[in-house]
Chains A and B, each alone.
Chain A
Amino acid sequence: AQTVTQSQPEMSVQEAETVTLSCTYDTSESDYYLFWYKQPPSRQMILVIRQEAYKQQNATENRFSVNFQKAAKSFSLKISDSQLGDAAMYFCAYRPYTGTASKLTFGTGTRLQVTL
């Protein structure tokens, strides 16, 4: 069974600074998707960024980028120029590549605080 581990329950960053959230996963599959989701206090889960395992290039979305290390099964999220609106729970998630399965396996989350 696949597992996703987020070892940082809480992180804090100052506004405009950079922070990196860690995620490791375990799978025997060679093809899969990885995601970072953001859940603000409103509880609405929002997709931040996704990575296809077969792509060597790290995904980037504006201030958000990932460091995907397939051999190490590591998938960290870097937030640059942090803003107050980035404060939220961040979940790392794994999804198998099989075409008919949409099941996401989530990590336990990292609560990010952004301070002035």
Chain B
Amino acid sequence: KAGVTQTPRYLIKTRGQQVTLSCSPISGHRSVSWYQQTPGQGLQFLFEYFSETQRNKGNFPGRFSGRQFSNSRSEMNVSTLELGDSALYLCASSGLAGENEQFFGPGTRLTVL
């Protein structure tokens, strides 16, 4: 089974721009969660989608949004980028609702200049 894939792997943007990151979960998985990892704040939960619905949301400003498509692929969008948005963005997928193991993708490294 192919693992979780994330595209692109690396991204450089400037302040004020917007960015879209993509995550393809493991085949058959319907839950996709997003995390932000920074040296200062560590790993923080952004949001979770299940069957195209946002099921959970972390404490991030409205500039961070996401969506999930019918094939379970998910996108995350950050608008009006700030320097502090520079981070590794990790996506994780899991199977049926309540399944306890999340499988992580390799991440997208976003640098905001």
A residues in contact (CB < 8 Å) with B: 33, 37, 42-47, 50, 52, 91, 95, 99-109
Q: Is B100 located at the chain interface by the 8 A CB criterion?
A: yes
Contact of B55 among A42, A43, A100, A108 (CB under 8 A): A100
Given A43-B88, A43-B107, A44-B106, are A103 and B43 also a contact pair (CB < 8 Å)? Answer: no
Given A42-B106, A50-B101, are A103 and B88 also a contact pair (CB < 8 Å)? Answer: no
Chain B residue at minimum C-beta to C-beta distance from A46 = B104
Q: Is B33 located at the chain interface by the 8 A CB criterion?
A: yes
Give the chain B neighbours of A42 by CB distance below 8 A: 106
B residues in contact (CB < 8 Å) with A: 31, 33, 35, 42-43, 45, 48, 50, 55-56, 58, 88, 90, 92, 94, 97-98, 100-107, 109
Give the chain A neighbours of B45 by CB distance below 8 A: 103-105
> What's the Cα separation between A105 and B45 when bound, in Å?
7
Chain B residue at minimum C-beta to C-beta distance from A93 = B43
Given contacts A100-B55, A101-B56, A107-B42, 19 further A-B contacts (CB under 8 A): A42-B106, A43-B109, A44-B104, A44-B107, A45-B104, A46-B104, A47-B103, A100-B98, A101-B48, A102-B33, A102-B50, A102-B94, A103-B45, A104-B92, A104-B102, A106-B35, A106-B42, A106-B43, A108-B42
Question: Which applies to chain B's interface (DSSP): helix, strand, loop or mixed?
Answer: strand
> What's the Cα separation between A105 and B46 when bound, in Å?
11
Contact of A104 among B33, B50, B88, B105 (CB under 8 A): B33
Given A43-B88, A45-B90, are A103 and B50 also a contact pair (CB < 8 Å)? Answer: no
Give the chain B neighbours of A103 by CB distance below 8 A: 33, 45, 48, 56, 58
Is there an interface contact between A95 and B56, defined as CB atoms closer than 8 Å?
Answer: no
> What's the Cα separation between A109 and B38 when bound, in Å?
12
A-B contact pairs, 30 of them (CB 8 A): A43-B88, A43-B107, A43-B109, A44-B104, A44-B107, A45-B90, A45-B104, A46-B104, A47-B102, A91-B43, A100-B50, A100-B98, A101-B56, A102-B31, A102-B48, A102-B50, A102-B55, A102-B56, A102-B92, A102-B94, A103-B33, A103-B56, A104-B33, A104-B43, A104-B92, A105-B45, A106-B42, A106-B43, A107-B42, A109-B42
